[in-house]
Structure 1
Amino acid sequence: MTVGEKIKYFRTLHGFTQDQLIQATGLSISTLQKYESDERKPKPEQLLKISQALGISINVFMDFDIHTVSDLLSLIFKMNEQLDLNFNSQKDSNGNILPDTLTLSFGNPVINQKLSTYVAFLNKMADSEKEQYTQALQELENQLLDDSTDIQKTAPFKEASAPPSDSAFSDPSYQKIQNLLSDCTSQEMEWILKSVQLIKECMRNTPE
């Protein structure tokens, strides 16, 4: 599905008319119509407004292309950092891991339930015609994506050491941001910066 098709799909799924969505986002009706017809590509800050209005993650509208080992491992490392991800494997007589036996699993029941539904569908539709399979798979994926349940694991408590008084950037938050941005492409960096700027402005303009 294109970005425009996804906007229209989730707008309809959540019971929004175009008029209701533009009221919630501040977009004009002509702009929204151009987005949904793919005549115009939304900027990151507009996608953020739409996703917030619909109560879904902005990642729903993003395409993640995985072409290299680095592409895949960066996602796995990030999942291991933020989710209850488990690595399991068998070992040989010397205690070395057998690569072909390596499996990944999640310790979160919400994720496991979603993946169980997904795998059951794949097994059921394995012999279906390609067009029917593709359409049904896209529908299921969108339904599974329509969930904003927080699944991030709780980081273990660590006693924080006092940061050096002469450097504001010694705060651990800056290190986390640096780690997050370290493997981003220039386009991803641009989108992230624009999104962060919008969030900061919204927070500062929101009355307490």
Structure 2
Amino acid sequence: MQQPLEQAADLKGGISASASNSSPAFLFADVNRLYLRSLLQRYEFAPHQIVSIEKDRDKAISIKHTRSDYPASIIFRSSVSAAEILETIRNKGFIFSASVSDVPIREGIPVRLTILIPICIVVIWSLLTGQSFGLNQLVHSQTWGNWRPIPIGVIFSISVITRFFPPVQWLLIKPGRHVGEISPFLNGLILVSGLLGIVSFLIISGISELFAILMTISTLWLIVELDRRFIE
């Protein structure tokens, strides 16, 4: 049975992983698992997968783990002190047991340099169809205006296929690395480019810009609200 996240969660706060910004999140703990959940990120650990949980600043903890499919750096922040976060986890009976030797060795970024090629293409296209270099008149013409959503669509498509299709991951991710290491970044790109794509499509369809933006904001609010209120 589903229940509100606020009632089920042991702690509320935010998650930041690798280079991603902190997003609102919930922490759950029991004897068998430590689970962090936000709109764009899900992290679940068994006791044998965590080496240490340590204080990171006054109101945050840093989780050192052995999962190669997660970002190396995972930090949970809350409104309570780091000591209270650690105490809550201990009181729930979660005791980590992994060894430092089990932590995977990671060198450099997990992405091959080949991914820079489509990114450069998208950037160049965006410059040609965007507001830069005095091209406003060209951009707002009927012909070029209908092409403006294409860079957004390319970013969305690249993010989706990289996130969910193993053959593409094999091409873009270095051997021995995992797409999960950059999943927060990819999930963010999918969400943002998807919403921008909706706005562009609605505007091209003849809907006023204000109404298109309001509809997109309403969609985002609905997604966040459904994710915030219910847990599987």
Q: Per the shorter chain, which TM-score range?
A: under 0.3
RCO higher in 1 or 2 (8 Å CA, sep ≥ 6)? 2
